Structure 1
Amino acid sequence: MHQHAPLAATPTRMMIAGRIGWLRGATGAGLAIALTAWIAHMIMGNDPALPWLVASMGASAVLIFVLPASPLAQPWPVFGSHMLSAAIGVGAHALLGATWLAAGLSVCLTIAAMSLLRCLHPAAGGTVLITALATPGVEAAGLGFLVMPLALNVLVLLVAGVAWNRLTGHSYPHRAAPQAAQPDWIGHIEDSDLDAVLAEWDEVLDVSREDLLAVVHAVEGKVRSRRGG
């Protein structure tokens, strides 16, 4: 069987524990969140004014450890989105206070900014509300919140994500595996062919099997139309 390079995006199996499905992601996320919390707590101490673990890190961990191939889980979307959303939330809070208008406007601006800067990451929708509807401690920290605890949390989580995913045979940051050139072929891809490839890849994709099949068969139809088949 053809073996992929150690950091290929389509591993045939994990290098240490074998295939353990969802348990791989759950274990990695749990360990990473615990590590992130412990490091931040050691650095920040017992200051009750600021959280040493930002709640939206939990949502980021789900993507990094369960869906490491997702564009939403890559390092730039994770880091950029959290920093950007927190800054927008701080600005909205300064202008409008902890109000419904600040909440709605900050989420709207965050989605627009993430889209423009190509760093879309759902967990940032939680981060922006933490700063837009800030507690007294977060409000007092202002933009300093972006450094401590937010940047610290994000960086530890990303380092843990790189280490865990590579340790367990998954590509992170994700890189598409190189594909050999294929000869021209007009035929039909069976649903079982896709199932076999997905099983070999052992990668959780953020698209359903049905949607993948729909894309594959739609492409087949385009090829046949172009060739008059």
Structure 2
Amino acid sequence: MIARSASLLPQSALGHLGWLRGALGATIGIGVAALFTQLLLGANTAGLPWLVAPLGASAVLVFAVPASPLAQPWSVIGGNLISAAIGIGFGLGLGLGSAALAASLAVGTAIAVMIYARCLHPPGGACALLCALGASTQGWDFGHLWPILANVLALSFVGWFYNNLTGHQWPHHVELPKSGNTSAPVGHTRRDIEEVLTDWNEVLDVDVDDLDAFYQALERHVAKRRARPR
């Protein structure tokens, strides 16, 4: 709910999370990934893709919403690679005559494995689909994981460098203030937040620690406002 409301707010070009910062980061990230993969492949460039389309979606997450749990390094690297391997496995196993079945099974299995491995990453579903179809119809094999590995490693390196350079700690984490340093009593615990989320039975695109930090900051802000002379 918080993430959904925030996404509706207009963003300026500059500022804490301006659109220009994200757009420039994605431009650099995709460019570096392309050059690095071409350099790594060398003479094999003609036989292997030097950029895969799901990387564009990964770039949106890494540079536009770097605090999202779906945009963290393990999600980007693990989510894409695990899904790609699953896609190729189903594509090779089921063959040309069952391309549609391979694609559907690959995406479903990739989602389950990513959730279990705690690396859920939406572009991973696209990677599974791409690789299942590539293995079913274009002769792709597990050697095609090399350019995908190069892509996600290069993008993650640029994400780490660029996000930290522009004031966004990546990998993202929050440091919660100690209770003794707060100017207002904290009326909740982290477990309270977890239990409410469990009651809702929904997954929000925001980490529990971020919710905790937000609520603590909100309490301090309200306490300061109430303490101001009227």
TM-score, structure 1 as length reference: 0.69
Structure 1 equivalent of residue 134 of structure 2: 134
Provide the rounded CA distance (Å) in 2 between the counterparts of 1:43 and 1:84.
21
Farther off after superposition, 157-166 or 78-87: 78-87
Structure 1 equivalent of residue 39 of structure 2: 42
RMSD of aligned alpha carbons: 2.6
Amino acid at match of 2:41: M
Q: 1:97 aligns with which of 84, 87, 95?
A: 95
Amino acid at match of 1:119: C
Farther off after superposition, 103-112 or 172-181: 172-181
Q: CA offsets per residue over residues 159-194 of structure 1, 9 Å max, x none?
A: 0000000100111000113324234377xxxxxxxx
C-alpha spacing 1:179/1:35, structure 2 compared with 1 (3 Å): same
Aligned residues: 175
Provide the rounded CA distance (Å) in 2 between the counterparts of 1:88 and 1:162.
27
CA contact (8 A) 2:37 2:51 kept: yes
Amino acid at match of 2:93: L
CA contact (8 A) 2:88 2:135 kept: no
Provide the rounded CA distance (Å) in 1 between the counterparts of 2:133 and 2:15.
44
C-alpha spacing 1:136/1:40, structure 2 compared with 1 (3 Å): farther
1 or 2, which has the higher helix percentage?
2
Higher relative contact order (CA 8 A, sep 6+): 1
Instruction: Please show how residues 79-228 of structure 1 align to structure 2 within 5 Å.
Output: 79-98=77-96, 99-134=99-134, 139-140=139-140, 142-146=141-145, 148-181=146-179, 182=182, 183-184=184-185, 206=205
Is 1:29–2:26 an aligned residue pair?
yes
Deviation at 1:138, TM superposition (A): 6.1
Unpaired runs of 5+ residues, structure 1, are: 1-16, 187-204, 221-229
Amino acid at match of 1:133: L
C-alpha spacing 1:27/1:74, structure 2 compared with 1 (3 Å): same
C-alpha spacing 1:95/1:137, structure 2 compared with 1 (3 Å): closer
TM-score, structure 2 as length reference: 0.68
Provide the rounded CA distance (Å) in 2 between the counterparts of 1:61 and 1:152.
14
C-alpha spacing 1:135/1:101, structure 2 compared with 1 (3 Å): closer
Q: CA offsets per residue over residues 141-168 of structure 1, 9 Å max, x none?
A: x11222x201111111000000000100
Provide the rounded CA distance (Å) in 2 between the counterparts of 1:114 and 1:19.
30
Structure 2 equivalent of residue 51 of structure 1: 49
Provide the rounded CA distance (Å) in 2 between the counterparts of 1:79 and 1:18.
28
Deviation at 1:137, TM superposition (A): 9.5
Deviation at 1:45, TM superposition (A): 3.4
